[in-house]
């Protein structure tokens, strides 16, 4: 069994998804894992990979890689991050409806990078990216073999971290402390 097969078999055997593996010339073996949607994990019902998940996979991989006599200097196991890559057709299906950034292998209309909403193509074959070109919404149809790289666009929502029990403080007079809107302007 090759080292990559050993890694994949171990990660999936523990109930995680193997997102990616990197091996550097300096002996670093980096493994990216994710939780499988709908599966229950011993570390809780969280949606995201925890430190405990990474520790469990690391311990098992160290054992398996030693048994398989795989040469490496350092092993790192981590989550794919908020800007996780989309590598397989299953990833595209799972993250349809979310903002993604794609880089095409060949330029289309003079550019390779596009960012927009990922959707399945209307005809049922391939994918679409709905994006705004500064004037109107555009639709880019593409197939997976045309994509060099695709990643989720991180969505950071700090407003959701407020204490739900206590309502947010209201400004004493209208316009005192205008809140930012999504377009960067001030609410009035």
> What pLDDT was estimated at residue 156?
79
E-state strands within the chain = 16-23, 28-35, 74-78, 99-108, 111-120, 127-132, 137-142, 147-152
Domains 3-78 and 89-152 share a fold: no
> What pLDDT was estimated at residue 186?
43
State residue 138 phi and psi, 5-degree precision. Answer: -120, 160
Beta carbons of 117 and 130 less than 8 angstroms apart: yes
- Reading the chain (188 residues) residue by residue, the pLDDT tens digits are 788 999 999 999 999 999 999 999 889 999 999 998 888 887 776 778 999 999 999 999 999 999 999 989 999 999 999 899 999 999 999 999 999 999 999 999 899 999 999 998 877 678 999 998 888 888 999 999 999 999 999 887 777 555 444 444 444 444 444 444 444 444 43
Domain ranges of the chain: 3-78, 89-152
Contacts of 132 (CB under 8 A, 6+ apart): 116, 138
CA distance linking residue 188 with residue 49, whole number of Å: 40
Looking at residue 48, the DSSP 8-state letter turns out to be S
Closest to 91 measured CA to CA, from 100, 155, 116, 78: 100
> What pLDDT was estimated at residue 168?
45
Question: Which CATH fold topology does 89-152 show?
Answer: SH3 type barrels. (2.30.30)
> What pLDDT was estimated at residue 161?
55
pTM, full prediction: 0.73
Question: Which CATH fold topology does 3-78 show?
Answer: GMP Synthetase; Chain A, domain 3 (3.30.300)
């Amino acid at each position: 069994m090759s080292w990559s097969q050993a890694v994949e078999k171990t990660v999936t055997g523990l109930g995680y998804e193997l997102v990616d593996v990197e091996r550097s010339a300096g002996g670093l073996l980096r493994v990216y894992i994710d939780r499988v949607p709908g599966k229950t994990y011993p570390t809780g019902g969280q949606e995201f990979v925890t430190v405990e998940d990474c520790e469990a996979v690391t311990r098992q991989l160290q054992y398996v890689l030693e048994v398989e006599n795989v040469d490496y200097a350092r092993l790192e196991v981590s989550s794919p991050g908020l800007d996780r890559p989309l590598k397989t057709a299953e990833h595209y299906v799972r993250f349809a409806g979310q903002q993604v950034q794609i880089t095409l292998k060949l330029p289309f209309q003079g550019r390779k990078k596009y960012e927009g909403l990922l959707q399945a193509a209307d005809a049922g074959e391939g994918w679409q990216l709905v994006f705004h070109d500064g004037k109107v919404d555009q639709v880019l149809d593409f197939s997976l073999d045309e994509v060099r790289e695709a990643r989720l666009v991180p969505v950071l929502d700090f407003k959701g971290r407020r204490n739900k029990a206590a309502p947010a403080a209201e400004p004493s007079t209208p316009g005192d402390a205008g809140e930012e809107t999504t377009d960067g302007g001030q609410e009035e």
